[in-house]
A and B are shown apart, each in its own frame.
Chain A
Amino acid sequence: MKDFYVTIGLEVHCQLLTQAKMFCRCSTDYIGKEPNTLICPVCTGLPGALPVLNRRVLELAIRTALALRCEILPQVVFHRKNYFYPDLPKGYQISQYDFPIGVRGIVEFVSGGSKKRVRIKRVHVEEDAGKLIHEGPSLPWNSSGVDFNRCGIPLVEIVTEPDLRSPEEARDYLIMLRSIVRYIGASDGNMEEGSLRCDANVSVSRDVETLGTKVEVKNMNSFRSVFRALQYEIDRQKALLEKELPILQETRHWDETRDITVAARGKEEAEDYRYFPDPDLLPFSIEPKDLEEIAKTIPELPLERKERFMVEYELPEGEAGVLVQEKEVADFFEECLKEFHKPRMLCNWMLTEVLKNLNELEINITESKISPSNLAELLKLVDKREISGTIAKGILEEMFKTGGRVKEIIARKGISFITNERELEKIVRETIEKNPQSVADYLSGKEKALHFLIGQVMKVTRGQADPELAKNLLLKELNSGE
């Protein structure tokens, strides 16, 4: 069995988070809207309509390129990419060609426990196309429609060099990229809703010196499908190489339901897009002063933040990595720390209980009803042993649902915490009397029996005992009886 060398490059399109489209003033808030309600002469390419650049697009694109550590080119030039398709009303897409916004960037990320880096070839902006609709109430039989609501929404395209070596690396790079574009507010990076789209170039070779035949894989709609499609494609190419069969340079589509890639139909000759500078949009230069202003708006990025969390809060790398993935979660964490300064304990609560509740409610942290000081208040009680962890979890759940303050919920639910040692001692003694078998088991060295006894105490007190205190009292009682 000889070695195989896998080379992957990714082309990612992110919708930029602007209020208005790229070249007109139509709203970009198209999800769930009636087809063709967010359109105007400009974005539907009516005769005589002309594009005018939304400067916010440029700002977000530059921010993206800077966050990916690109060089920013001093000139902004738009080119027309000419081709015919019904979702492209002008017969060309306004894009960029030999003057992208940024070139030669770098993204660092962690994959398989080690730090990786991928070079960014270019970052450029272009307008999105419309959407073909093949079924709908207003469509006559056997016909298709076009919805132009999405047409003209600004996209940033981020192209890597072929530096990725495995599907895991590709997925982990994508997760980092999404995290970055969300951190800087450039895109919401939602793959399922199509605001982040990914195409891949994959090649497999038996010789480390030469690249294999490049195959383009499209139509991957989630991180999971990127991973699976790449894995499938690499296996397919390896199998062909083993049998010494040729690999065709082609475009293949990921078929989610069948779990395979399928060769795209139609002619495979390279299309000539006849790029030329758009005469409707004159080239202009970016002022160094403006560039500085934009650079100032870039926050601490996920990787730097993770490293800081590891040093400053002494968090393990894994936990810190998860904590910083979403800027809002990391912000919440740091906000909460101001009132409750136990980073390890807070981190554990964030990564287990808080994220669990968010997932169950299918919301993100900014949409939740809980504030950092609410959580701090709760954890303080736990920390002072005024309530048990179990109780606290229940209260947290309630806080996510109703958004009340901790004290209010405790009062409302009539939760009183048994902190009176003498009261608890009585219950412990009763428990020992009622469970002689467990006591015997414990004394003969079975640690598990102790947990059972703690459980019994908690059951009798309906969870209102401090388990730590119960354990200590149990141990004291059991050991004295020896």
Chain B
Amino acid sequence: MGDLVSFRDFTIKDYHGRLQKGEFSVEELVKMFLERIERVDGLIHAFLSLDSERVEKRARELQEKKPQGELPPLWGIPIAIKDNICVKDLPTTCGSKMLHNFIAPYDATVMERLKAAGALIIGKTNMDEFAMGSSTENSAFGPTRNPLDLARVPGGSSGGSAAALSALEAPLALGSDTGGSVRQPAAFCGVVGLRPTYGRVSRYGLVSFASSLDQIGSMSRKVEDCITLFEVLSGSDDRDSTCAPYPPFSRREIPPEEEITRIKVGIPKEYFSSGVDRSIVKSIEEVFHLLRKRGIECVEVSLPHTECALEAYYIVAPAEASSNLARYDGVFYGLRSEGDTLQEMYSHTRTNGFGREVKRRIILGTYALSSGYYDEYYLKGMKVRTLVRKDFEEAFQTCQLLLTPVSPCFPFLLGERTMDPYQMYLADVFTIPSAMAGIPGISINCGYHDHLPIGLQILGKPFEEGWIFGLALLIEKLLSLPSPLPHLESRKGSEQ
């Protein structure tokens, strides 16, 4: 049996090679990860629930029925699922007291696809309540810590999934990205996170936060695995009307390296303003340097509506959320706090069930949709959204892809920004515009400052994830950084 530490830079292909050779069984592989979780998750708190017994049983079944020849794409590979994606018979709490007792009675479309591809659901990961937050501190079940520095946040809202990958508690994970909730934690934890084009992955079974922005994202330690996972998840779904009628993504859509080195890459100047940490700018400029050496032209472009995108987002997303979260009323499922009247029951349930940030956004969104304010807020927000989309369309006239930092800052300390929501919102300033435009983007690690990782974002045209992956693979190869492996058991702090 192998040692997980030696799996640091493994991809699914490597695991499959070992499984094929019989170096270890699926059950043994799953056990290695479960043991790792048992050893380190007390420090990180990436998981809200584990499905140890069933996953081991399923691993045995898979091993017994091991197919001859080629293995299904995710055969025997453990995966961690953000706790706002419904997995049949598992808790789906959304990090909220409101759903503390909710067991999903059905599988999300992506879960059906993962199961069909042979993946093993190992557990559900921590998150900001209903995906509202950028640090995973808004979880009703306590925060997750950044495995690379336990005093710091892992980002959010998919902080549990990013931390689990970073700590090698799982080789793959699902997150959800509404305004940056996959890409920002991936950057903070030194892993890979893709936000697909809006409509490329079915949302059926993803608990809605802001329906017009939510997308399920693939998360992994290497770009290669992110591609494999995305191939499994993507494709049309007749249970989600907003899912595009496109076939699943295929790696054949990724242009060969020679073609990648002939493209023009845009550098939006608004993403390198004074508000961005200088070490982050420096690290990303080094990437430009490497790319230029390979013949890639890097040109400055402008996305003038970057700043108002953030403000428009904090109208549109809460507006949709205020309606999406109305269903948590204590009547049919989830938490109920009794009252003498129906109104009291509603009021007690929602007062007790929701945390501060969720309440803040429900109030914000309710206000933005109220009669008399609708035109001034919601409608205006939607108009800004069109302008943001046009910004990108214009930029993509001249270049194939855009390169930006994921976050203007490094992972902050726990508690550092909790009292100042605006500072917290700023953490998503570079991921929100592309989410508003519905375009795809990936976050990959491009280096470290001290021990803290720096995320690089590649944005592309709608439904052109192939180009994004192409450049991401090239950059990953040029940088050849090892995937994170913090020494957590000895509590000596961390190293990359």
Asked if A86 and B319 sit within 8 Å, CB to CB, the answer is no
Asked if A146 and B331 sit within 8 Å, CB to CB, the answer is yes
Asked if A47 and B94 sit within 8 Å, CB to CB, the answer is yes
Select which of B85, B205, B328, B374 is within 8 A of A276 by beta carbon. Answer: B374
What distance in Å separates the Cβ of B157 from its nearest Cβ neighbour in chain A? 15
What distance in Å separates the Cβ of B416 from its nearest Cβ neighbour in chain A? 31
A91 within 8 A of B: yes
A-contacting residues, B332-371, CB 8 Å:
332-333, 342, 346, 366, 369-371
Asked if A46 and B106 sit within 8 Å, CB to CB, the answer is yes
What distance in Å separates the Cβ of B122 from its nearest Cβ neighbour in chain A? 20
Select which of B106, B108, B212, B346 is within 8 A of A279 by beta carbon. Answer: B212
B-contacting residues, A67-93, CB 8 Å:
80, 82, 84, 86, 89-92
B242 within 8 A of A: yes
Asked if B323 and A274 sit within 8 Å, CB to CB, the answer is yes
Select which of A41, A89, A280 is within 8 A of B242 by beta carbon. Answer: A280
Asked if A49 and B204 sit within 8 Å, CB to CB, the answer is yes
Tell me the bound Cα distance from A48 to B242 in angstroms: 13
Contacts A48-B204, A52-B241: A91 and B326 contacting too (C-beta < 8 A)?
A: yes
Tell me the bound Cα distance from A359 to B210 in angstroms: 55
Asked if A279 and B242 sit within 8 Å, CB to CB, the answer is yes
Select which of B92, B238, B239 is within 8 A of A47 by beta carbon. Answer: B92
Size bracket of the B interface: 35 or more
What distance in Å separates the Cβ of B374 from its nearest Cβ neighbour in chain A? 7
Asked if B240 and A279 sit within 8 Å, CB to CB, the answer is no
Asked if A51 and B241 sit within 8 Å, CB to CB, the answer is yes
B329 within 8 A of A: yes
B255 within 8 A of A: no
Select which of A80, A84, A146 is within 8 A of B332 by beta carbon. Answer: A146
Set of chain B residues within 8 Å of A53, measured between Cβ atoms: 241
Flag B78-108 by CB within 8 Å of A: 1 or 0 each: 0000001110000010100001001011101
A247 within 8 A of B: no
Asked if B333 and A50 sit within 8 Å, CB to CB, the answer is no
What distance in Å separates the Cβ of A38 from its nearest Cβ neighbour in chain B? 15
Asked if A280 and B211 sit within 8 Å, CB to CB, the answer is yes
Select which of B99, B242, B332, B346 is within 8 A of A282 by beta carbon. Answer: B242
Contacts A84-B346, A279-B212: A46 and B85 contacting too (C-beta < 8 A)?
A: no
Tell me the bound Cα distance from A38 to B496 in angstroms: 55
Set of chain B residues within 8 Å of A241, measured between Cβ atoms: none
Set of chain A residues within 8 Å of B322, measured between Cβ atoms: 82, 274
B207 within 8 A of A: yes
Asked if B323 and A92 sit within 8 Å, CB to CB, the answer is yes
Contacts A47-B207, A53-B241, A274-B369: A91 and B374 contacting too (C-beta < 8 A)?
A: no
Select which of A41, A84, A276 is within 8 A of B378 by beta carbon. Answer: A276
Nearest chain B residue, comparing its CB with the CB of A280: B211
Tell me the bound Cα distance from A46 to B203 in angstroms: 14
Flag B201-229 by CB within 8 Å of A: 1 or 0 each: 00111111011100000000000000000
Flag A33-55 by CB within 8 Å of B: 1 or 0 each: 00000000100111111111100
Asked if B369 and A52 sit within 8 Å, CB to CB, the answer is no
B492 within 8 A of A: no
Asked if A80 and B323 sit within 8 Å, CB to CB, the answer is yes
Select which of B106, B208, B210, B370 is within 8 A of A41 by beta carbon. Answer: B106
What distance in Å separates the Cβ of B113 from its nearest Cβ neighbour in chain A? 15
Nearest chain B residue, comparing its CB with the CB of A278: B211
Asked if B327 and A91 sit within 8 Å, CB to CB, the answer is yes
B464 within 8 A of A: no
Nearest chain B residue, comparing its CB with the CB of A52: B241
Asked if B240 and A47 sit within 8 Å, CB to CB, the answer is no
Tell me the bound Cα distance from A280 to B242 in angstroms: 6
Tell me the bound Cα distance from A275 to B240 in angstroms: 22
A281 within 8 A of B: yes
A408 within 8 A of B: no
Flag A246-286 by CB within 8 Å of B: 1 or 0 each: 00000000000000000000000000101110011110000
Set of chain A residues within 8 Å of B94, measured between Cβ atoms: 47
Set of chain B residues within 8 Å of A92, measured between Cβ atoms: 323, 326
Nearest chain B residue, comparing its CB with the CB of A91: B326
B137 within 8 A of A: no
Asked if A280 and B332 sit within 8 Å, CB to CB, the answer is no
Q: Which of A50, A92, A280 has the most CB of B within 10 A?
A: A50
Given contacts A274-B323, A274-B369, 10 further A-B contacts (CB under 8 A): A46-B105, A48-B108, A48-B204, A52-B239, A53-B241, A82-B369, A86-B342, A274-B322, A276-B319, A276-B378
- 7 CB contacts below 8 A, A to B, read A48-B104, A50-B241, A51-B241, A82-B323, A89-B327, A274-B323, A279-B242
The 7 lowest CB-CB distance pairs between A and B, nearest first, are A91-B326, A279-B211, A279-B212, A274-B369, A47-B207, A48-B205, A48-B86
